[in-house]
Structure 1
Amino acid sequence: MSAELMVWREPEPIPRDRARAAYLATKKTRPAEGPVPAYAKELPGQVTIFQDHVLVTMDMDSMDEMSTQVFAIARAHGLACYDPQRDLVHNLAPLGVYEGMQLHTGDGMIVTDPDLGLVRDTLATLSPQNPFVALVVFGHHFIQVAPGYELEYKEGTLRSTMVDDLAEVQRAFHEYATGARDFLSRNVWT
């Protein structure tokens, strides 16, 4: 069994529905002949070149490790990346304020410097198959959430609270990523 990621140049952030449509349209076309883009030579896995897109195929056993590499290479070359397994798109912007911040999920995804849309959309994937989402600024602080919306924040001491809905979790993660701490005063922490 295999998994795929698609990378391509996109002039501005693209929503998931358009990224999904581009992926499905690409899958219906034939691979292109001709020169291979320089960045494609850096991508791990099996690379297939299409007119404007590159598909990276990998086996499921190495998906987590290889996906992390593909996300980093795509970002370094100014490319968008679509993950059809998770139905998530990795845009180049807008980013949070912490350089090197990492997004971690319970299903194995790790993204350095995730765009804010990816953070929002990833939070909607919380489930028994994806039991947590965390934003981490190593050596400083983190915020994480588990299904049922148990929110934890650590900067010195660990604080925990329960929130009512996904929208509040997404708001708290957005504030954290952008350097705001309003979520601390809106909730009762233990």
Structure 2
Amino acid sequence: MVWDEPVPISRDQARATYLAVKRTEPETTPADVPDVVKDLPGKVTLHPGHVMVSMDLDTMDEMSAQVFTVARAHGLVCYDPQRDLVHNVAPLGVHEGMQLHTGDGMIVHDPDLGLVHDVLGTLSPRNPFVALVNFGRHFMQVSPGYELEYKEGTLIRAIVPDLEEVRTAFHEYATGERGFLDRHAWQDQPV
């Protein structure tokens, strides 16, 4: 679902909005069709102030990426009820073109920092890694057990104690800070 919010919202707020809108009847003859509708893939259903996009599970990853991109281009919030994740317009990291990749198939270009935080909480056997990638320059990746990998020239690896430390390291990486490099015992890894 996509809609306008004046400020970034939490996943809980997005979920509550989605559930409330889902209980309402769709507009059958809307007076004003939002511009975003013509750019969205899939089946679109209009609700007052909100646009629902339906897709099948076989194409969900590809179509979700398209919906996220269109929503961002229109300055709209996007909530993914399958993954229970919200995509806000901002704040973004400092690396333009950065991509968020997950082991369960999600790819988001220029993810907002709140999304990165929430996605890290989904690490599991179904989602065996999360990576922030700046192609051709550097990347940071984590897998369950909190094995953190960072590559900028040489691939290095560290085990971090908990999810909050992983979130801190990813936040620092995304915002251009380097404190994560000093806080952990890194080991060079063969490529």
Do they superpose with TM above 0.5? yes
How much has 1:36 moved relative to structure 2? 2.2
2:126: which partner in 1? 129
Q: Which amino acid aligns with 1:143?
A: M
1:9: which partner in 2? 4
Give the alignment partner of residue 113 of structure 1, picking from 107, 110, 113.
110
Return the alpha-carbon distance in structure 1 between the equivalents of residues 168 and 69 of structure 2.
26
- TM-align CA RMSD: 0.7
Q: Does 1:143 align with 2:140?
A: yes
How much has 1:23 moved relative to structure 2? 0.3
Give the alignment partner of residue 22 of structure 2, picking from 27, 35, 39.
27
How much has 1:37 moved relative to structure 2? 1.4
How much has 1:140 moved relative to structure 2? 0.3
Q: Which amino acid aligns with 2:145?
A: G
Return the alpha-carbon distance in structure 2 between the equivalents of residues 164 and 19 of structure 1.
30
Give the alignment partner of residue 90 of structure 1, picking from 80, 83, 87.
87
Q: Secondary structure at the match of 1:49?
A: strand
Alignment of 1:160-171 (within 5 A): 160-171=157-168
Q: Secondary structure at the match of 1:160?
A: strand
1:103: which partner in 2? 100
Return the alpha-carbon distance in structure 1 between the equivalents of residues 82 and 72 of structure 2.
19
Q: Which amino acid aligns with 2:21?
A: T
1:66: which partner in 2? 63
Return the alpha-carbon distance in structure 2 between the equivalents of residues 38 and 83 of structure 1.
20
How much has 1:93 moved relative to structure 2? 0.9
How much has 1:119 moved relative to structure 2? 0.3
Q: Identity rate of aligned residues, in percent?
A: 71
Q: Per-residue displacement from partner, 1:91-119 (whole Å, max 9, x unpaired)?
A: 01111001110100011111111111100
Give the alignment partner of residue 185 of structure 2, picking from 181, 185, 188.
188
2:48: which partner in 1? 51
Return the alpha-carbon distance in structure 2 between the equivalents of residues 118 and 139 of structure 1.
23
Q: Per-residue displacement from partner, 1:47-69 (whole Å, max 9, x unpaired)?
A: 00100110100000000100110
Return the alpha-carbon distance in structure 2 between the equivalents of residues 117 and 147 of structure 1.
20
So what's the TM-score if we normalise by structure 1? Answer: 0.96
Q: Per-residue displacement from partner, 1:129-175 (whole Å, max 9, x unpaired)?
A: 00100000111000000011000000001000101100000000000
Return the alpha-carbon distance in structure 2 between the equivalents of residues 44 and 139 of structure 1.
30
Q: Does 1:18 align with 2:21?
A: no
1:3: which partner in 2? none
